[in-house]
Structures are given as structure tokens and as C-alpha cells.
């Protein structure tokens, strides 16, 4: 198992917690110097708050844990490709790297619809690795929405 697959497993565990509480199953972890400094899952329904995406919650926690807003030296692992709002936060927080599981063809702002995090027009560019444990990430999302449609 690669380092990326290992940490994506931690993000998948967060996504499974989201699923269990009725949230869209997206999980995120932020790693700094080989340690998880933040973990989160979607909480939009639970809070309720439109901005309570796993990535934003993890970024907020990492900033507090490291006592700084610049997350240079950090990698974000997230189960689903970030949306435009989260991609903006990734750029603004100066994350070095984003690793995501499955693409989001309806709202993806890293590769699918937009290329925000590595856009030359912006003041920071983030390295991207896509497709890590993609099948597992996609299966969790598909199962969640299949179950939701049954209700």
C-alpha cells in the first residue's frame, strides 16, 4: 500500500462516518510531516451550514492545530474531487498538495469541470494526484445515493 492509499483510507473512514449519520459521504484528512493534523467529514445537514464541507472543516482544524493559516507543507486527502468553494479554500490556504479519490463530474473544480487549484492565473498552485482508491470512494457515494432514493 502506498502512502497516498494509506491516508486515503483515513479519509474513507471519515466518509463512512458521514454516511452513518446521514451526511453525503465525503471525508478529508490533512497530513503534515507524516502526521494527520486534521480530519473531518461533511456536516451540511447536521449543522445545518452550506459551507460545512469536509475539506473546509479539515482546513479550519488544520489551521488551528498548526496555529497558522498557511498550510504549506501539508497534503489534503479527500474522497471526492473538491467543488469550486473548496478548491478556492485550498488555494487560499496554500496547501502544497491535494489527493482525491473519485471525480465529481457535476461540481469538480480540480480536474472535471474546472482546474482551479493549479490555475496559472492564481497566486498559488497546488499539486494534484487524482484517482487514489477511486473505486472505493465512488462506490460509497453510489451506495449512499441509491439508499437515499429508496427512502
Half-sphere exposure of 67 (CA within 13 A, CB side): 0
Cβ atoms of 108 and 117 within 8 Å: the answer is no
The catalytic residue among 5, 14, 23, 55 is 55
Q: Is 102 known to sit in a ligand binding site?
A: no
121 is known to lie in a ligand binding site: no
63 annotated to a ligand binding site: no
Run of H or E residues at 15: helix 3-20
55 is annotated as an active-site residue:
yes
Answer whether 98's CB lies under 8 Å from 121's CB. no
Give the annotated binding-site residues for Zn(2+): 53, 83, 86
Which residues are annotated as catalytic? Answer: 55
Amino acid at each position: 500500500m502506498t502512502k497516498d492509499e494509506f491516508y486515503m483510507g483515513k479519509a474513507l473512514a471519515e466518509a463512512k462516518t458521514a454516511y452513518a449519520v446521514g451526511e453525503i459521504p465525503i471525508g478529508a484528512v490533512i497530513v503534515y510531516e507524516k502526521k494527520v493534523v486534521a480530519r473531518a467529514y461533511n456536516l451540511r445537514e447536521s449543522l445545518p451550514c452550506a459551507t460545512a464541507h469536509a475539506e473546509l472543516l479539515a482546513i479550519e482544524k488544520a489551521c488551528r492545530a498548526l496555529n497558522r493559516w498557511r498550510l504549506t507543507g501539508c497534503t489534503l486527502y479527500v474522497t471526492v474531487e473538491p467543488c469550486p468553494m473548496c478548491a478556492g479554500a485550498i488555494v487560499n490556504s496554500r496547501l502544497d498538495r491535494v489527493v482525491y479519490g473519485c471525480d465529481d463530474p457535476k461540481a469538480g473544480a480540480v480536474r472535471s469541470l474546472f482546474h482551479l487549484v493549479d490555475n496559472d492565473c492564481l497566486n498559488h498552485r497546488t499539486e494534484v494526484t487524482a484517482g487514489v482508491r477511486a473505486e472505493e470512494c465512488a462506490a460509497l457515494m453510489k451506495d449512499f445515493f441509491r439508499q437515499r432514493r429508496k427512502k
